[in-house]
Chain A
Amino acid sequence: AQKVTQAQTEISVVEKEDVTLDCVYETRDTTYYLFWYKQPPSGELVFLIRRNSFDEQNEISGRYSWNFQKSTSSFNFTITASQVVDSAVYFCCGSRLTFGEGTQLTVNP
């Protein structure tokens, strides 16, 4: 069975702070993919990134960065200099369509 664990249920930060969302994926698969999705207050989930288990390079996209470590099955997501528009629920997802419980991020002005 697969399991995605997002340790933080809720995080609240002040604008311009950096914030890291944790994700751990448990699976017996040797090859797998991990995803992050954002669900803003409007409700529609938006795809952010996909990473396969072979690639442990960090990825940066603007203020977003992702760190994947296969040894710990962690795929953490960092937002640098957070903004109010980053307020949303963020979901980590494993390749077998298993979603974590989500982390509610609130960025206060």
Chain B
Amino acid sequence: KAGVTQTPRYLIKTRGQQVTLSCSPISGHRSVSWYQQTPGQGLQFLFEYFSETQRNKGNFPGRFSGRQFSNSRSEMNVSTLELGDSALYLCASSLATGVGGYEQYFGPGTRLTVT
């Protein structure tokens, strides 16, 4: 089975711009979660989608949004980029909702640099 894929792998944007990141989960997985990883803050949970519905949300401002499509693929969008948004954005998929007993499988991440 193919693993979780994320595109693009690297991205450089300027402050004020917006960005869209994409994630394709493992086939058959219906839950997709997004995380922000930075050296200072560790792994921070952004949100989780299951069956095209946002099921859980972390403590991030409204500039961070996401969606999930009927094929379980997910996108996250960050508007009005700030320097502090520079991070590795990780996508993870699981069979069902991640808030529970399902392990997550992570993609390689998208490295976003905001200048």
Residue total for B at the interface (Cβ-Cβ under 8 A): 22
> Interface residues of B: mostly helix, strand, loop or mixed?
strand
Give residues of chain B (19-61) contacting chain A, Cβ–Cβ below 8 Å. Answer: 33, 35, 42-43, 45, 48, 56, 58
Q: Is B104 an interface residue (CB 8 A)?
A: yes
Q: A45-B90, A101-B42, A102-B42 are in contact. Are A95 and B106 (CB under 8 A)?
A: no
Interface size class of A (residues with CB under 8 A): 20 to 34
**B90, A47: Cβ atoms closer than 8 Å:** no
CB-defined A-B contacts under 8 Å, sample of 22: A35-B103, A35-B104, A37-B104, A42-B108, A43-B88, A43-B109, A44-B108, A45-B90, A45-B92, A45-B104, A45-B106, A46-B106, A47-B103, A47-B104, A52-B101, A95-B99, A95-B101, A96-B56, A97-B56, A99-B42, A99-B43, A99-B45
B interface with A by C-beta (< 8 Å): 33, 35, 42-43, 45, 48, 56, 58, 88, 90, 92, 98-101, 103-109
